[in-house]
Amino acid sequence: MSTIAVFTALWITGVDLNITALMGMTMIIGIGAEMSIFYVSEYIELRHNMTPKQALREASRNRLRPISMTTLAAILTLMPPALAIGQGSAIQQPLAISIIAGLILQFPLVLLAMPVLIGLTAERLPARESFES
């Protein structure tokens, strides 16, 4: 999904795909994986004392602020290079555009789509075996 977001953002902005854009795509995949891992670990910890639905809601509540702050800070920090403001920023523009596009997509995926997918699979597993094989 991040790859599609990066290619779409580069196409919309008219920026060519180059090695810095691919580096940004690699970075966004890592950032998204990290956010997902933290969410799942939070869910597993809460699952010991709560039902799956309660644990999902509480994990989402607990991870909303860190994910929002990380996403917003990164987007605001990367806006000047993405808009090619300043000397030498044209070199970093594809990197900034790819990271911003990936963050914009991963924010709802981590906070909305992933809890739904976990909820669909968690109901099928017994309480002790949820994500702990």
How many helical (H) and strand (E) elements, i.e. helices and strands, does the chain have?
A: 5, 0
Global pTM value: 0.81
Domain spans of the chain, in order of start: 2-129
Nearest to 60 by CA among 24, 35, 84, 93: 35
Per residue in 55-86, pLDDT tens?
Answer: 999 999 999 999 999 999 999 999 999 998 87
The string of pLDDT tens digits covering residues 3-44 is 899 999 999 999 988 999 999 999 999 998 999 999 999 999
Tokens 């060519």 correspond to 16
Query: How far from each other are the two terminal CA atoms of the chain, in whole angstroms?
Result: 27
Residue among 69, 4, 9, 6 nearest 35 (CA): 69
CA distances from 123 to 11, 51, 118, 129 (A): 40, 10, 9, 11
Does the domain formed by 2-129 have CATH 1.20.1640.10?
Answer: yes
**What is the residue whose two structure tokens read 């994986």?**
33
How many other CB atoms are there within 10 angstroms of residue 79's CB atom? Answer: 12
